[in-house]
């Protein structure tokens, strides 16, 4: 069986001075699947997300989304090409309601630009209604009920901010969704809800990249796992393969070499 | 439809209609020359302050140099009227377009700075403009005589002040309508995201460098319109009107009013124009009292005096 690769990265590298934060990493992700990216702290996971989104320019390598090479394009172009992300600490914009934050996520679907809004303000109103509708659907999907929508997003409880952030990413209707430790700070039941949400998002036909330390979640929902250590790909494969991989166990438990 | 879904844009248009009606009423009722001049100056400064609210309050980019664009607007009007003999409408249009274009061109390099550096960069821009305006005597008349004897606006039996009053009402409403359409639309939401985090704005697909240039240009245009009106109203002026002091005053208007709504700027302009006049009684201590008043506002109403008063008022009403 061959799956069409939605995201295909090859030989991606990034150094900061003499530190190889990400070195020669290649893998591919299929649509409709959750792929997990794991590794000890400092392994280069967040750097890799920043390289994929274009926040940091890669030194080398190709990043293909549906066959189109995005390496070298600015972050906003990649967002428009269908890459969305969430952040390790939720980034709710100050002074904006929950609904507005998510509407802002649908930025690339707005029909009016700056000049359009000056010349034909009624378009803005129609556009706003459509975007609010879209945002509402996304919020309902991540389980943020309507009573929260009018509140300042930055005042929400942490768990809700995480959901709002996923809703904002969904409002971008991404082909590829990158989640940077979405379960951090969530309790067990919240984490379980998140897991099933991610599975359903993948089932839309999106590729989901999950960076996460919660191994229970990673093992239960990912079809494919990529392990990073010191910026290099240590192993990749199905959850069962990874669980049994000696190198991976060594990297996590810190065993350097066997005692003779 | 629940409350949060009702259009903010529609609400802002309602406020705009209210403001326009109120100002028109004031125009008919106020007879004192002094009161008229205070209100006209407040409205004219409001136009620039509304634009600056977009840049500082919404996009989060500080400018301490917008006095320069007010000046460019003023000199553009003078040039169009005296040298080119154009009608007032075209002169004002030029005072909007020219600063807008200059603002767009300057924005790219200067908005590479941020925070304190941006404040210093724009401050320098304003200072340079002042020096240039004082030196290029061919166009500006230098510091002495400067621009003198622009034509009176008296028209169809209405005195100069009355015509300028109506022009100012119109310009202010136009500025507010433009600002409302921007902040309540897609672009405005993008700007608010940008203010919190440039990274997030990029990752939702906003070309942040371009967006910042655009909003800088819009705020420069409105500053230019404000300068054009100021020129029409004063009829004689020189470069000292557009120094660093004006730039700081404009920023004060935005901060005293509100950083988060365009309506605060109008309140702020009024406060900053009226306050020095109210303080005349303190004579020697005027500047000190003014400074203390500003510090108190910063301490107790960091979101802007306008916004805080509004909150207190609505809170009282709710609890009553």
* Residue B207 with chain A: CB contacts under 8 Å: 74, 76
Decide if pLDDT at B318 tops 80. no
Decide if pLDDT at B320 tops 50. no
Cα B103 to Cα A132: distance, rounded to the nearest angstrom: 33
Over the stretch A34-66, which tens digit does the pLDDT of each residue have? 999 999 888 899 999 999 999 999 999 999 999
Residue B284 within any structural domain of the chain: no
Nearest-neighbour CA in chain B from A177: distance (Å): 11
Cα A4 to Cα A78: distance, rounded to the nearest angstrom: 20
What is the model's pTM? 0.90
Stretch B263-270: mean pLDDT:
90
Residue with tokens 């009573």: A147
Cα B249 to Cα B242: distance, rounded to the nearest angstrom: 11
- Whether residue B205 and residue A172 make contact (CB cut-off 8 A), yes or no, is yes
Residue B270 within any structural domain of the chain: no
Residue of B nearest to A124 (CA): B185
- Domain with residue B168: its CATH number is 1.10.3470
pLDDT band at A1 (very low <50, low <70, confident <90, very high): very low
pLDDT on residue A257: 54
pLDDT on residue B286: 77
- H or E element, residue A45: helix A45-53
Number of domains in chain B: 1
Cα A12 to Cα A125: distance, rounded to the nearest angstrom: 43
Cα A175 to Cα A207: distance, rounded to the nearest angstrom: 6
Over the stretch A171-201, which tens digit does the pLDDT of each residue have? 999 999 999 999 988 889 999 999 999 999 9
Residue B283 within any structural domain of the chain: no
- Number of helices followed by number of strands (H, E) in chain A: 10, 10
Q: Does B181 touch chain A (CB under 8 A)?
A: yes
H helices of chain B, in order, are 8-29, 33-52, 66-82, 88-110, 115-135, 137-140, 160-183, 186-196, 198-203, 208-234, 244-257, 262-278, 286-300, 305-319
pLDDT on residue B317: 57
Within 13 A of A69's CA, how many CA atoms are on the CB side? 9
Decide if pLDDT at B45 tops 60. yes
Over the stretch B82-91, which tens digit does the pLDDT of each residue have? 999 999 999 9
Question: Closest by alpha carbon to A96, among A123, A135, A133, A143?
Answer: A135
Interface with A, mutate which of B9, B203, B206 (most A CBs under 10 A): B203
pLDDT band at B2 (very low <50, low <70, confident <90, very high): very low
What does the buried/exposed string (b/e) look like for B170-181 if buried means 16 or more CB atoms within 10 Å of the residue's CB?
A: ebbbbbbbbbbb
* A113 or B267, higher pLDDT: B267
Q: Is A52 in contact with A9 (CB distance < 8 Å)?
A: yes
Residue B296 within any structural domain of the chain: no
Decide if pLDDT at B314 tops 50. yes
pLDDT on residue B129: 94
% of residues, chain B, pLDDT over 90: 60
Cα A17 to Cα A13: distance, rounded to the nearest angstrom: 13
Q: What is the DSSP string of A71-104?
A: TTS-HHHHHHHTEEE--SS--PPTT-BHHHHHHH
Over the stretch B156-207, which tens digit does the pLDDT of each residue have? 888 998 999 999 999 999 999 999 989 888 899 999 999 999 999 999 999 9
Cα A79 to Cα B199: distance, rounded to the nearest angstrom: 11
Neighbouring CB atoms inside 10 A of A16's CB total: 11
Question: Any idea what DSSP says for residue A92?
Answer: P
Neighbouring CB atoms inside 10 A of B82's CB total: 16
Residue of A nearest to B200 (CA): A91
Residue of B nearest to A113 (CA): B187
- Whether residue A93 and residue B206 make contact (CB cut-off 8 A), yes or no, is no
Over the stretch A63-108, which tens digit does the pLDDT of each residue have? 999 988 998 899 999 999 999 999 998 899 888 999 999 999 999 8
Question: Any idea what DSSP says for residue B280?
Answer: G
Residue B281 within any structural domain of the chain: no
Residue B143, preceding bond cis, omega within 30 degrees?
A: no
**Residue contacts between A and B (CB atoms, under 8 Å):** 115
Q: Does B202 touch chain A (CB under 8 A)?
A: yes
- Whether residue B3 and residue A125 make contact (CB cut-off 8 A), yes or no, is no
The whole-chain average pLDDT of chain B stands at 89
pLDDT band at B1 (very low <50, low <70, confident <90, very high): very low
Q: Does B207 touch chain A (CB under 8 A)?
A: yes
pLDDT on residue A4: 63
Residue B28 within any structural domain of the chain: yes
Residue of A nearest to B13 (CA): A121
Q: Using alpha carbons only, what angle is made at residue B26 by residues B21 and B27, rounded to the nearest 5 degrees?
A: 95
Decide if pLDDT at B66 tops 60. yes
Nearest-neighbour CA in chain B from A114: distance (Å): 6
pLDDT band at B61 (very low <50, low <70, confident <90, very high): very high
Q: What's the domain range around B231?
A: 2-244
Among B178, B181, B206, select the one facing A107 at the smallest CB separation: B206
Interface with A, mutate which of B1, B3, B4, B51 (most A CBs under 10 A): B4
Residue B97 within any structural domain of the chain: yes
pLDDT on residue B126: 93
Q: Which of residues 208-267 of B touch A (CB under 8 A)?
A: 208, 214, 218, 260
The residues pairing with A37 across neighbouring beta strands, listed in sequence order, are: A211, A226
Cα B166 to Cα B158: distance, rounded to the nearest angstrom: 10
- H or E element, residue A126: helix A121-142
Residue B314 within any structural domain of the chain: no
* Residue A92 with chain B: CB contacts under 8 Å: 196
Decide if pLDDT at A121 tops 90. no
């Amino acid at each position: 069986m061959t799956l069409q690769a939605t995201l295909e990265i090859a030989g991606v590298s990034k150094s900061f001075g003499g530190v190889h934060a990400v070195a020669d990493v290649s893998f591919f992700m299929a649509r409709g699947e959750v792929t997990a990216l794991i590794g000890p702290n400092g392994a280069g996971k967040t750097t890799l997300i920043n390289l994929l989104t274009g926040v940091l320019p890669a030194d080398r390598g190709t990043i293909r989304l549906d066959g189109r090479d995005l390496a070298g394009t600015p972050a906003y172009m990649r967002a428009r090409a269908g890459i969305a992300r969430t952040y390790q600490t939720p980034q709710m914009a100050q002074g904006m309601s929950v609904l507005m934050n998510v509407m802002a996520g649908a930025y690339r679907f707005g029909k009016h630009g700056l000049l359009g809004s000056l010349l034909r303000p009624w378009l803005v109103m129609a556009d706003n209604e459509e975007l609010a509708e879209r945002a509402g659907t996304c919020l309902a999907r991540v389980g943020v009920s309507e009573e929260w929508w009018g509140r300042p997003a930055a005042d929400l409880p942490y768990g809700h901010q995480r959901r709002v952030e996923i809703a904002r990413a969904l409002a971008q209707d991404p082909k590829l969704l990158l989640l940077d430790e979405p379960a951090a700070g969530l309790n067990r039941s919240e984490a379980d809800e998140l897991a099933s949400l991610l599975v359903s998002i993948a089932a839309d036909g999106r590729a989901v990249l999950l960076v996460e330390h919660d191994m229970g979640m990673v093992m239960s929902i990912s079809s494919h796992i990529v392990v990073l250590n010191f910026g290099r790909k240590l192993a990749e494969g199905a959850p069962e393969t990874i669980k049994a991989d000696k190198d991976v166990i060594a990297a996590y438990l810190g065993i350097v070499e066997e005692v003779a | 439809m629940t409350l949060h879904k009702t259009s903010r844009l529609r609400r802002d248009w309602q406020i705009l209609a209210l403001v326009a009606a109120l100002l028109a009423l004031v125009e008919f009722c106020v007879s004192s020359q002094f009161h008229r001049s205070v209100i006209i100056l407040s409205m004219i400064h409001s136009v620039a302050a509304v634009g600056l609210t977009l840049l500082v309050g919404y996009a989060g980019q500080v400018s301490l140099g917008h006095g320069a664009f007010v000046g460019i607007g003023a000199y553009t009007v003078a040039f169009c009227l005296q040298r080119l003999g154009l009608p007032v409408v075209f002169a004002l249009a030029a005072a909007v377009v020219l600063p807008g274009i200059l603002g767009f061109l300057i924005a790219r390099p200067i908005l590479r700075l941020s925070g304190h550096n941006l404040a210093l960069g724009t401050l320098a821009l304003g200072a340079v403009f002042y020096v240039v305006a004082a030196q290029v005597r061919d166009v500006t008349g230098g510091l002495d005589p400067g621009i003198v004897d622009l034509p009176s606006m008296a028209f169809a039996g209405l005195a100069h002040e009355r015509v300028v009053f109506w022009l100012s009402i119109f310009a202010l409403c136009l500025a507010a309508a433009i600002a409302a359409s921007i902040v309540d639309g897609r672009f405005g939401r993008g700007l608010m995201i940008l203010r919190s985090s440039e990274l997030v704005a990029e990752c939702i697909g906003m070309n942040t460098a371009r967006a910042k240039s655009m909003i800088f240009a819009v705020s420069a245009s409105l500053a230019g319109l404000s300068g054009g009106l100021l020129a029409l109203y004063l009829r004689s002026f020189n470069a000292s009107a557009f120094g660093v002091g004006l730039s700081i005053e404009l920023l004060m208007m935005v901060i005293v009013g509100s950083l988060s709504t365009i309506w605060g700027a109008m309140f702020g302009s009024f406060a900053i124009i009226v306050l020095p006049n109210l303080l005349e009684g303190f004579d020697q201590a005027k500047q000190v009292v003014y400074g203390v008043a500003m510090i108190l506002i910063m301490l107790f109403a960091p979101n802007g005096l306008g916004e805080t008063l509004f909150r207190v008022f609505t809170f009282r009403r709710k609890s009553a």
